[in-house]
Structure formats: C-alpha cells, structure tokens
C-alpha cells in the first residue's frame, strides 16, 4: 500500500506528468537498458539530431551523483555529448558544421529526484548546418566507442524522401539516406 501511495504521489507531480506526455508524443518505446533512440531530420541545409538514452547506457547510474567521482563522471558525460561533431560524422563533402547542441536530463539537471521506478533518461539535441546540403547522404554514429554500455541504437531518419528506420550497433554504425 505504501508503495502505491508513493507512486500516485509521484504521478501527481507536474514534472512527472509532463515527462509522461512528452514521451508519448514523440515515441512509443520503453526505457530499455543498453538501448537508445536517435531521430534524424534532414531539411534544406539543416540536419537535426535528437538522441534519447537511458542514463545507464551513457553514465552507468540513474540518479543524481553522490560523490566527487560520480560528479566527475557527469561532467565528462556532458563534455562528451557537447562535442557532437565527434559523435556524429556527416558526409565530408557536405561541409556540415554543428551550430547548436543541448543536453538535458531531469535527473542530472536537478529538476527531478530519482524516478519513481528508479530510472532516468537523457536527451541530447544537435543542429548542423551544411554548406553543400545535396551532398549530405549519411552519418557515421560513433556513440558506441564513447559509450561501451550502449548496445543498440534505434534510428529514424526523416528527409525529403520519406522516413526510414534502422537499428545501429557497434558493427553497423552507418546511417544513409
Ligand atoms: Zn534505467
């Protein structure tokens, strides 16, 4: 009974309600350890990327850091994710440059305590602007080297020729369109 009460209390919090809605608006997936989602949108000269991952896969724990070692791990994670051009390598001939990067996690940003179910996610969004957008035909995803606990990436690409989906792994890390 106590467990149920806590759960209901959690659901009543606005932040939780928002997260819930947000997740349903964009995705139909469960939080699965070792598995992240990548949305790729190609439009005109711009490339937008949205990575959503369990904190487990990129950080190893899913709660606020408790000591200096864990705080250092969070800082290193933010640094790694901010360097989007190293994680996502676009077709060289397209001359794409990252113009914006944003990393958000309710847990790490202190906007929420540990999730009611003990899990937490992270969202990283990137914008690239390309000098020769017609030459942009794909992307090499280097997340697997950076995050060994990441085993699968469910990628979706939306471009002028419609939508495609592909599952990426350390051995299959190229997306093309
Ligand atoms: Zn989890």
Q: Name which of 36-40, 86-90, 106-110, 173-177 the model is least confident about.
A: 106-110
Of all residues in the chain, the percent with pLDDT exceeding 90 is 71
Q: How far does the centroid of ligand 1 lie from the alpha carbon of residue 55, in Å? A: 7
**Residue 8 falls within a domain, yes or no?**
no
Assign 91 a pLDDT band (cuts: 50, 70, 90).
very high
Q: How far does the centroid of ligand 1 lie from the alpha carbon of residue 71, in Å? A: 19
Show the tokens assigned to 46: 């711009």
Q: Residue range 58-79: average pLDDT?
A: 96
Q: How far does the centroid of ligand 1 lie from the alpha carbon of residue 9, in Å? A: 20
Judged on CB neighbours under 10 Å (0-12, 13-18, 19+), 3 is exposed
**Residue 107 falls within a domain, yes or no?**
yes
Q: How far apart are CA 39 and CA 75, in angstroms?
A: 24
Instruction: Give the pairing type, strands 35-43 and 152-159.
Output: parallel
**Residue 16 falls within a domain, yes or no?**
no
Give the per-residue pLDDT at 113. 66
Q: How far does the centroid of ligand 1 lie from the alpha carbon of residue 35, in Å? A: 10
Structural domains counted in the chain? 1
Please tell me the pTM assigned to this model: 0.82
**Residue 9 falls within a domain, yes or no?**
no
**Residue 74 falls within a domain, yes or no?**
yes
The residues that bridge with 128 in the sheet, in sequence order, are 47, 98
DSSP track, the chain:
-HHHHHHHHHHHSHHHHHHHHHHHHH------TTEEEEEEEEETTEEEEEEEEEHHHHTS--S---SHHHHHHHHHHHHHHH-HHHHEEE-GGG-EEEEEEEEE-TTTTTSS-S-TTS--EEEEEEEEEESSGGG--EEEE-HHHH-TT--EEEEEEEETTEEEEEEEBTTB-EEE-
Assign 147 a pLDDT band (cuts: 50, 70, 90).
very high
**Residue 45 falls within a domain, yes or no?**
yes
Q: Residue range 155-175: average pLDDT?
A: 94
Assign 11 a pLDDT band (cuts: 50, 70, 90).
very low
Q: How far does the centroid of ligand 1 lie from the alpha carbon of residue 10, in Å? A: 17
**Residue 100 falls within a domain, yes or no?**
yes
**Residue 11 falls within a domain, yes or no?**
no
pLDDT at 4 over 60: no
Structural domain boundaries enclosing 68: 30-176
């Amino acid at each position: 009974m106590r467990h149920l009460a806590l759960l209901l209390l959690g659901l009543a919090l606005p932040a939780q309600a928002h997260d819930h809605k947000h997740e349903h608006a964009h995705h139909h997936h469960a939080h699965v350890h070792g598995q992240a989602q990548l949305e790729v949108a190609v439009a005109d000269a711009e490339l937008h990327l949205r990575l959503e991952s369990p904190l487990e896969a990129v950080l190893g724990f899913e709660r606020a850091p408790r000591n200096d070692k864990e705080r250092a791990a969070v800082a290193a994670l933010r640094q790694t994710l901010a360097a989007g051009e190293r994680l996502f390598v676009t077709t060289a001939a397209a001359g794409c440059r990252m113009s914006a990067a944003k990393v958000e996690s309710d847990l790490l940003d202190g906007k929420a305590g540990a999730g009611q179910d003990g899990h937490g996610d992270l969202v990283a969004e990137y914008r690239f602007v390309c000098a020769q957008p017609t030459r942009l035909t794909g992307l090499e995803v280097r997340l697997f080297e950076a995050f060994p606990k990441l085993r699968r990436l469910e990628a979706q690409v939306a471009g002028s020729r419609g939508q495609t989906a592909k599952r990426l792994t350390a051995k299959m890390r190229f997306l093309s369109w």
